[in-house]
Amino acid sequence: MKHLLKAAFTLMAVVLCTAAFAQSTGAYLKYDLNGKTISHKNAELNAYNKFEPETEDEKAGNDHVLYVSYEVKVPYKLDIIIHTPPHAAPVVGKLPYVQTVVPKNGPCPSVHFSMTKTVGEEFEFYGSEDATAGNFEITKVAAGWVEGKFDIELPRQYSTNGEVLHITNGTFRFKIDKEMKD
């Protein structure tokens, strides 16, 4: 019995230490863009979880969003939107890239990437579309956090020149927030 209690306390200590470590590492977003590593830590990132009701053209579901804070002054700001079924959290697995909104016949879960590039006083916009080249995988969902990896060929929006950003070696981690209420 004494050994059983010792094992139980050891297991509890491991679980508590793991949870404490997970909380202390916080959110992050890291990727290579055209050969340059870009990294954002907890203080530069925000996240939210919002339910989107069904519309005439759009499927109902939740958007779990990780984005670089607007206060951070960097030339590239990447947003990740994970679309899930209504009132559901993200789950482990590979997800397809989609356009901004998920049409009624679109895949769910799925993911949308958007990036804003600042060029002087101007902005260039990039965003995933249906069948965008790349891979997105949620590798872990535990203790209220979601982690994953990605690479993507992100096409420029509102342009006919065919410009694409090559994003590789991407990793992320963020807290799954409670669902926002309107």
- For all residues of the chain together, what is the average pLDDT? 86
Cβ pair 47, 146 in contact under 8 A = no
Instruction: Supply the pLDDT for residue 6.
Output: 54
How far lies 86's CA from each of 59, 74, 90, 162, in Å?
9, 34, 11, 35
- Per-residue pLDDT reduced to its tens digit, 100-125: 777 778 889 999 999 999 999 999 99
Cβ pair 77, 115 in contact under 8 A = yes
Instruction: Supply the pLDDT for residue 35.
Output: 86
- Per-residue pLDDT reduced to its tens digit, 68-102: 998 898 999 999 999 999 999 999 999 999 987 77
Beta-bridge mates of residue 66: 47, 80
Pairing of the two strands 110-119 and 122-127: antiparallel
How far lies 97's CA from each of 18, 112, 146, 164, in Å?
32, 6, 17, 15
Instruction: Supply the pLDDT for residue 13.
Output: 46
Instruction: Supply the pLDDT for residue 158.
Output: 84
CA atoms within 13 A on the CB side of 98: 22
